[in-house]
Structure 1
Amino acid sequence: MTTRTAAERREEARAAYDAYLQECPARQLLDRISDKWVSLLLNALADGPRRYSDLSRTVAGVSQKMLTQTLRTLERDGLVSRSVTPSVPVRVDYELTPLGHSLQPVMRAIKDWAESNIEQVITARETYDAR
């Protein structure tokens, strides 16, 4: 039996992640970042820290419950940090962590692609529905 170093074992574990496999934990992360509220909030936080109320105004249509839940899960996943400033009223700011910033180019590209191609998608839907 060959003895492996801790670094070798970590590399083998990393290589074992395959999102096509049902039990792969990366699937949970893909599920999280593909959520519409997650993508919109990550893009809204791209330019720096934002207050809860500012995020609520920026991301039209998100309920308080969904905004709170989404921010909590992003904080739990290490993509967003929350800072509380004791004042009256209490000030709560959210900002991207370094891990969240590393995801930003992908999220911005998806948002930009959706905005640039929505007309073609609408046309394709109309053509499909007309058949």
Structure 2
Amino acid sequence: MEFIADCRTRLAFDLVANTWHPVVLWALRNGPLRHGELRTRIGGISAKVLTEAVRRLERDGLVERAAGAYQLTELGVSFLGPIEGFGRWAEEYGDRVVEAQARVS
């Protein structure tokens, strides 16, 4: 018997469940950045929250630190595709979600 809670898909969703993980990965898509540069590029994130997010992404093998800067690993680069897909979906359907939320509120 296969349990949905233990599937690999859940693992992938856990990576994007944190608000900042996809943002950090997307911010690093063009190359390595130091902590301060990364924080400036992202905007609206505290140093503490950024540090926590980067540490989790390092633990998961998507980000590594080299020469004082954070950069995507091969695994991190491979995850940009799904993040881009979420972005395309949000661009196309985001207004409909906001409208639905407004009807319920």
Q: Render the CA deviation track for 1:82-115: whole Å, top value 9, x for unaligned.
A: 013xxxxxxx211110011111100122123224
Partner of 2:78 in structure 1? Answer: 102
In the TM superposition, 1:1-131 aligns within 5 A as 20-21=4-5, 24=6, 26=8, 27-28=10-11, 30-84=13-67, 92-129=68-105
Deviation at 1:55, TM superposition (A): 1.2
- Residues 45, 122 of structure 1: CA spacing in aligned structure 2 closer, same or farther, 3 A cutoff? same
State the 1:32 CA deviation: 3.0
Q: C-alpha distance in 2, partners of 1:46/1:128? A: 37
Deviation at 1:33, TM superposition (A): 2.8
The alpha carbon displacement at 1:126 in A equals 1.3
Give the Cα–Cα distance (whole angstroms) in 1 for the partners of residues 85 and 101 of structure 2: 22
Q: Distance in 2 between matches of 1:112 and 1:51?
A: 28
Residues 19 and 76 (structure 1 numbering): CA distance in 2 closer, same or farther, change over 3 Å?
farther
Which stretch of the first structure deviates more once superposed, 47-56 or 35-44?
A: 47-56
- 3-state DSSP of counterpart to 1:95: strand
Task: List gaps (5 residues or longer) in structure 2.
Answer: none
CA distance in 2, matches of 1:25, 1:68: 28
CA distance in 1, matches of 2:24, 2:37: 11
- Provide the secondary structure at the position in 1 that maps to 2:61: coil
Q: In terms of Rg, which structure is larger?
A: 1
Structure 1: which 5+ residue stretches go unaligned? 1-15, 85-91
**TM-score normalized by structure 1?**
0.68
- Structure in which a larger fraction of residues adopt helix: 2
Aligned length, in residue pairs: 104
